[in-house]
C-alpha cells in the first residue's frame, strides 16, 4: 500500500510539474512585445529591426516576438513614453532628446559640436555605455541597444558659412528639446520653436530660414524640398536607443532576457552601418536636387565650437551635470591626443 501511495504521489508531482511547465511555455508562446518607433515602415532601419526580430523569434522557437508600430502611428515620442508608462506598449526606439527626459545625463549627446567623427562617437559610447545604462535602469528602463540618427547638419534657405550668418538668420528649434532652446539663448541666436510637423510649413512661409536634421531625416521629412543649402559640418550627434520598461523586462524568464539582450548587441553594428550609409547617400541625393553643400573654414568651425563650449558653461546643471560633461571632454581629449 505504501508503495502504491508513493507511486501515486510521484505521478501527481510529475503531472503538476508538467502542467506548470506547459503553462510557462504557453506564456512564452504568447509573449508579444509591443514596440513603437518613428522610423517609417520600409525604411532601412525597419529592415534591420525586422532581421533582429526574426533572430529573436528563431532563438526562442517563436515563443517571443516584437510587434512593431512604426512611422509614429502611436504618436510622437512624448506619446510613446506615456504609453510605455501606462503599459500600452512595452518598448520604444527613442531619440536622445526623449531619453534625457528619463535620465538627464543622456543630454550629453545633445551638446553642439562635441564630436567631429563617427570614431569619436563610438569611442565615447564605449566609455559611457555602462554608466548611462545604469542611470536609465535606476529610472525604470532597460537599454536594450543603442541606435542613432547620425550627425545633424544645418539646412537653410540662406547660406550659413559663418557664425555671424547663423546669428542673423531665423533658426528653428524643436519645441520638445528645451536644452537646445537654452543653448541658442545662451549663444544669443534667435530661435523659433516649432513642432516637427510644423517645420515644413515654417520653411515654406519664411518663418524659419535654418533647420537641422540628419540628411536622411531631412529627406524623409521633405525639408530638403524647401532649402537651398546644406552646411556640411557635424553639429550634433543624434543619439538614440531602444528601451523597455524595467518592470516588464523583469517578468521575463532569464533565458528570454538573455536572448533579447544578445540579439540587440549583435545587431547594434548593423543599425549604425545602415544609418551612416543612408546619411552619406542622402547628401548626394540633395546635391543632385540642386542643394549647394557649404564647407565652412576651420577658423569658422572653431568659432562655432568655442561658442558652444561657453554656452554649456553658463547653462548650469539643469540639463546636464558638469561632472558628466567634464568626463566626456576628458575622454575626447585623451582620444584625440592618442590619434595624433
DSSP annotation of 91: E
Q: How many whole angstroms separate alpha carbon 193 and alpha carbon 122?
A: 31
In this structure, what DSSP letter does residue 95 have?
A: E
Helix (H), strand (E), coil (C) string for 285-332: HHHHCCCEEECCCHHHHHHHHHHHHHHHHHCCCCCCCHHHHHHHHHHH
CATH of the domain at 41: 3.40.190.170
Residues 6 or more apart whose CB falls under 8 angstroms from that of 220 comprise 40, 43
Q: Give SS3 for 159.
A: coil
pLDDT band per the 50, 70, 90 thresholds, residue 17: very low
Is residue 11 very low, low, confident or very high in pLDDT (cuts 50, 70, 90)? very low
- Averaged pLDDT for residues 218-239: 95
Instruction: Tell me the C-alpha distance between 4 and 26, whole Å.
Output: 32
Q: What is the pLDDT of residues 56-87, one digit of tens each?
A: 999 999 999 999 999 889 998 999 999 999 99
Domains identified in the chain, total number: 1
Q: What is the pLDDT of residue 29?
A: 54
Please tell me the pTM assigned to this model: 0.84
Give per-residue pLDDT as tens, 157-187: 999 999 999 999 999 998 878 888 888 888 8
Query: By residue range, what is the domain housing residue 185?
Result: 2-339
Residues linked to residue 67 through DSSP beta bridges, in sequence order: 34
Amino acid at each position: 500500500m505504501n508503495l502504491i501511495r508513493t507511486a501515486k504521489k510521484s505521478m501527481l508531482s510529475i503531472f503538476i510539474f508538467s502542467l506548470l511547465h506547459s503553462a510557462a511555455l504557453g506564456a512564452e508562446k504568447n509573449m508579444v512585445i509591443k514596440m513603437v518607433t518613428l522610423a517609417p515602415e520600409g525604411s532601412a532601419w525597419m529592415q534591420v529591426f525586422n532581421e533582429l526580430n526574426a533572430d529573436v523569434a528563431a532563438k526562442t522557437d517563436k515563443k517571443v516576438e516584437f510587434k512593431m508600430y512604426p512611422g509614429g502611428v502611436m504618436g510622437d515620442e512624448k506619446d510613446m513614453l506615456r504609453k510605455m508608462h501606462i503599459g500600452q506598449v512595452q518598448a520604444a526606439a527613442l531619440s536622445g532628446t526623449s531619453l534625457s527626459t528619463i535620465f538627464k545625463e543622456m543630454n550629453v549627446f545633445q551638446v553642439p559640436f562635441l564630436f567631429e567623427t563617427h570614431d569619436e562617437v563610438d569611442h565615447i559610447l564605449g566609455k559611457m555605455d555602462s554608466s548611462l545604462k545604469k542611470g536609465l535602469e535606476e529610472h525604470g528602463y532597460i537599454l536594450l541597444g543603442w541606435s542613432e540618427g547620425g550627425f545633424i547638419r544645418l539646412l537653410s534657405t540662406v547660406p550659413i558659412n559663418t557664425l555671424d550668418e547663423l546669428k542673423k538668420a531665423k533658426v528653428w528649434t524643436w519645441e520638445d528639446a528645451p536644452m537646445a532652446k537654452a543653448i541658442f539663448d545662451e549663444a544669443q541666436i534667435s530661435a523659433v520653436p516649432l513642432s516637427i510637423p510644423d517645420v515644413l510649413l515654417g520653411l515654406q512661409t519664411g518663418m524659419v530660414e535654418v533647420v537641422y536634421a540628419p540628411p536622411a531625416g531631412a529627406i524623409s521629412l521633405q525639408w530638403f524640398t524647401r532649402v537651398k543649402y546644406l552646411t556640411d559640418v557635424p553639429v550634433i550627434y543624434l543619439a538614440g536607443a531602444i528601451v523597455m520598461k524595467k518592470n516588464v523586462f523583469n517578468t521575463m524568464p532569464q533565458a528570454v532576457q538573455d536572448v533579447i539582450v544578445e540579439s540587440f548587441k549583435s545587431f547594434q553594428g548593423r543599425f549604425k552601418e545602415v544609418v551612416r550609409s543612408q546619411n552619406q547617400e542622402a547628401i548626394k541625393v540633395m546635391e543632385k536636387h540642386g542643394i549647394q553643400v557649404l564647407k565652412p573654414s576651420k577658423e569658422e568651425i572653431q568659432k562655432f565650437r568655442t561658442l558652444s563650449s561657453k554656452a554649456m558653461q553658463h547653462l548650469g546643471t539643469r540639463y546636464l551635470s558638469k561632472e558628466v560633461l567634464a568626463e566626456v571632454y576628458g575622454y575626447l581629449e585623451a582620444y584625440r591626443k592618442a590619434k595624433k
